[in-house]
């Protein structure tokens, strides 16, 4: 059963910040558009197959790897909530 995708405020802000960073860094939107497409494709895949991500220590929270980014999401009854998008190269202590 396909689930609805809900983006938390934090996840929306994370995605915007990541895309904005790459726009400025590359002085082009090409990579940002590609990255945004990867995020969308991955979340669409999660709609159909919510358990493909790695489990975490937190109940119902999983991680889907997209390039070098980690999408943290919570599986709910009829929805998936995208909690945050994290650059896997960053210090994990900053995630808290």
The whole-angstrom separation of Cα 27 and Cα 62 is 33
The whole-angstrom separation of Cα 61 and Cα 66 is 16
Mean pLDDT along residues 64-80: 93
Q: How confident is the model at residue 2 (pLDDT cuts 50, 70, 90)?
A: confident
List of domains in the chain? 4-88 (3.30.2310.20)
Q: What is the pLDDT of residue 1?
A: 62
Task: Say if residues 84 and 11 touch (Cβ distance below 8 Å).
Answer: yes
Q: How confident is the model at residue 3 (pLDDT cuts 50, 70, 90)?
A: confident
The whole-model pTM stands at 0.88
Task: Say if residues 52 and 64 touch (Cβ distance below 8 Å).
Answer: yes
Q: What is the pLDDT of residue 91?
A: 66
The total number of residues written for the chain in this structure: 96
Q: How confident is the model at residue 95 (pLDDT cuts 50, 70, 90)?
A: low
pLDDT for residue 36 is more than 80: yes
Task: Say if residues 70 and 59 touch (Cβ distance below 8 Å).
Answer: no
Q: What is the pLDDT of residue 52?
A: 94
Q: Any alpha helices (H) in 1-96, and if so which ranges?
A: 9-26, 30-48
């Amino acid at each position: 059963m396909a689930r609805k995708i809900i983006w938390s405020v934090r996840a929306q802000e994370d995605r915007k910040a990541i895309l904005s960073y790459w726009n400025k860094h590359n002085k082009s939107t090409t990579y940002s558009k590609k990255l945004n497409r990867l995020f969308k494709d991955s979340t669409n895949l999660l709609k159909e197959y919510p358990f493909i991500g790695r489990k975490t220590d937190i109940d119902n929270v999983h991680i889907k790897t997209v390039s070098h980014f980690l999408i943290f999401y919570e599986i709910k009854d009829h929805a998936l909530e995208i909690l945050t998008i994290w650059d896997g190269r960053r210090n994990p202590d900053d995630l808290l």
